[in-house]
Structure 1
Amino acid sequence: MREVRYEVIKQGVSFGTVLAIVLSWSANKSILWAIIHGILSWIYVIYFALFKSV
């Protein structure tokens, strides 16, 4: 059970990072911002969904 939990968390972090990088690149066209947003991952994804996706 413990291994399954770690795998789900690992996949969620990976997906969040990739999603944040793609959203950042599409909005800013900047590698530096994409890296920063990739580090922040889910925080940026939630911010993008609330404030940038008009």
Structure 2
Amino acid sequence: MEKKEVVRSGIGFGSALAMVISWSLHKSILWAIVHGFLTWFYVIYYAVTR
């Protein structure tokens, strides 16, 4: 049961992080939502390209 909680928290944090990064760059709610769905893929992309 504890493993499920860790995964659920990790996905939530990744989504929030992606949305914050997206908002700070684009100032667009639509892009923030799209990047929120992409979660860790967008966070890793941002880290690699910056």
The TM-score, its normalising length taken from structure 2, stands at 0.97
Task: Determine the structure 1 residue equivalent to 2:26.
Answer: 28
Which of the two has higher C-alpha Rg?
1
Alignment partner of 2:8: what SS?
helix
Q: Which runs of 4+ in 1 moved over 6 A?
A: none
RMSD of Structure 2 on Structure 1 (CA): 0.5
Matched pairs, number: 50
Letter in 2 for 1:48: Y
Q: Which runs of 5+ in 2 are unaligned?
A: none
Percent identity of the aligned residues?
Answer: 54
- Kindly provide the CA deviation profile for residues 4-51 of structure 1, in whole angstroms up to 9, marking residues without a partner as x: 100000000000000000000001101100000000000000001010
Alignment partner, residue 47 of structure 1: 45
TM-score for the superposition, normalised by structure 1: 0.90
